[in-house]
Structure 1
Amino acid sequence: MTGLESHDVPAAVDPANWELRVTGAVADPLRIDRSWLSTFPAETFTQDFECVEGWTAAGLTWRGFRVGHLLERAKPTVQSGHALVRAMDGEYACAFPIERLASAVLATELDGEPLGVDHGGPARLIPTESESDCWESVKWVAEIEILESEPTDADTAEALALSRIE
């Protein structure tokens, strides 16, 4: 038991057809499936997951791949400075400065097991710095769109995430 709470999985989320796209202001757009993702060096780290809903899942062990490795292959343009990370559900997205996103991990395992769809599998973005907000941990990551300008609040799902808090 992870202690990590889950929410209903949207109907649009189909882990069997998962792929990750790196698009936008890049020299080499990417389409990555599970087998190609496994060619990147994996890392394991443990951290608490604190949610604004008021609960904490202590000592979760995540395993995954630094987003920076994906960005190196996609080659963002010199002008790019931001990114939107989009979920498979087509509704959820979170904005990041590109340097901050590069240090985040795309997790594919939780506590030694493949990451289940109820917890954001097959791939979930886990920002690794301590000042991260829980809603920045994007479940079902399907696209990383590199941008040359800063996204607006309307581009992100912060309001959507916070509206789910009862």
Structure 2
Amino acid sequence: MDGLKSYGVPDDVDPDGWTLRVAGTVDRPLRIDPADLASYPLETAADDFACIEGWVANGLSWRGVRVARLLEGADPTDASEYALVRAMDGEYACSFPLDRLRESILAVELDGETLPVEHGGPARLVPLDTDRDCWESIKWVSEIRIGETPFTEDDTAKDLALSRIEG
């Protein structure tokens, strides 16, 4: 199916109980369940996925919802400039400038099949810009928290990802 490596699925990850919260500095906080997510139009993005560990998965085809569409429903305030995307396990999170996050997709399929839990299903953030780092592709996305300032203290993704190869 793909060339992505997978790590163990954390115990806190329950794909059957998945929901996505969009909260923070928004006028309309959202709670999106799988049926809600299925109502959004899907887009396809094909690209290689390179990891800091030195491996590359060539020619992956991600299919999902453009994050901008999700954020439209939540209506971030005019002062909102950042977002923290948190994984279902509660530990892994990555901060993004809001404009950059809008261009990412929340993938629900990989190479024409439902995204397997070991690769981040039911929903994985896939940044599409050329400056992306592998740790920014958040598996098991459960929350997008919008804010006016960067979420630097809560941004754990880079440190956790690097600890896998240094440890």
TM-score per shorter chain, which class? over 0.9
Gaps of 5+ in 2: none
Amino acid at match of 2:13: V
Amino acid at match of 2:75: K
SS of alignment partner, residue 165 of structure 2:
coil
Q: Which amino acid aligns with 1:11?
A: D
Off by >3 Å, runs of 4+ in structure 1: none
Determine the structure 2 residue equivalent to 1:97: 97
Alignment deviations for residues 5-49 of structure 1 (CA, whole Å, 9 cap, x no partner): 000000000000000000100000000011111111100121000
The C-alpha deviation readout for 1:48-78, integer Å capped at 9, x for no partner, is 0000000000000000000000111100011
- The corresponding residue for 1:156 is 155
3-state SS in 2 of match to 1:73: helix
For structure 1, list consecutive stretches of 5 or more residues without a partner in the other structure: none
Alignment of 1:17 onto 2:17: yes
By how many angstroms is 1:131 displaced?
1.1
Matched, 1:53 2:59: no
Q: Which amino acid aligns with 1:32?
A: I
Which whole-Å CA distance do the structure 2 matches of 1:47 and 1:57 have between them?
9
The one-letter code of the counterpart of 2:154 is D
What is the TM-score of this pair, normalised by structure 2?
Answer: 0.97
Q: SS of the counterpart of 1:54?
A: coil
Within-5 A mapping of 1:117-132: 117-132=117-132
CA distance in 2, matches of 1:2, 1:150: 34
Deviation of 1:155 after TM superposition, in Å, equals: 1.2
Structure 2 counterpart of 1:155, one-letter code: D
Tell me the amino acid that sits aligned with residue 85 of structure 1: V
Deviation at 1:161, TM superposition (A): 1.4
In the alignment of these two chains, the number of paired residues is 165
